[in-house]
Amino acid sequence: MKGQKDSVFSAVRFSSKGFTLIEILLVVIIIGILVSLVAPRLAGRSEEARKQAARADIDGGISLALDLYEMDNGRYPAKLEDLTAKPGDSLNWKGPYLKKGIPKDPWGNLYAYKFPGAQNTLSYDLYSLGPDKQEGTADDIANWSN
């Protein structure tokens, strides 16, 4: 029985010299196919994440700071810089309202702020120009409905 078992294992010999060119090409092709299936799903995710970050700044952090300023001073600031440094005409400034300074949008631009607002006539307009950096286009992210 032992002799028969040795002959089975001796018929199958593995080479320990490495991979052949065909094996390497096959692995590269398989990896290429997998990347081509996964890459399109991930392509639009980073831009969507930037838009969500801008929306969070506009609807959250900066708006909260503007509302706190308005509660303390009875009106909204003339410019965003008034949230970090006391303006000369402020009587009850309790800032800074933004401790880390005025954030930039995810595309590296300053947020646009207007008081009184053209869209929100009773308060302010706060918006990002979006990835194209052009005002009034569909990719603008604002505190009013586009």
Cross-strand partners of 142: 127
Q: What is the pTM of this model?
A: 0.67
Please state, as a whole number, how many other Cβ atoms lie within 10 Å of the Cβ of residue 13: 7
Q: Tell me how far apart the alpha carbons of residues 71 and 65 are, in angstroms, rounded to a whole number.
A: 10
Both tokens of residue 24?
Answer: 């390497």
Residue 146 has pLDDT above 80, yes or no: no
pLDDT 10s digits, 77-123: 999 999 999 998 878 899 899 988 899 999 999 999 999 989 988 88
Q: Tell me how far apart the alpha carbons of residues 35 and 53 are, in angstroms, rounded to a whole number.
A: 27
Topology of domain 49-142 in CATH is: Glycoprotein, Type 4 Pilin (3.30.700)
Residue 129 has pLDDT above 80, yes or no: yes
Residue 6 has pLDDT above 60, yes or no: no
Domain boundaries, the chain: 49-142
pLDDT 10s digits, 13-71: 555 677 788 888 888 999 888 888 777 776 667 888 888 999 999 998 899 999 999 99
Give the mean pLDDT of 2-20.
59
Phi, psi at 51, each rounded to 5°: -65, -40
Q: Provide the pLDDT for residue 33.
A: 86
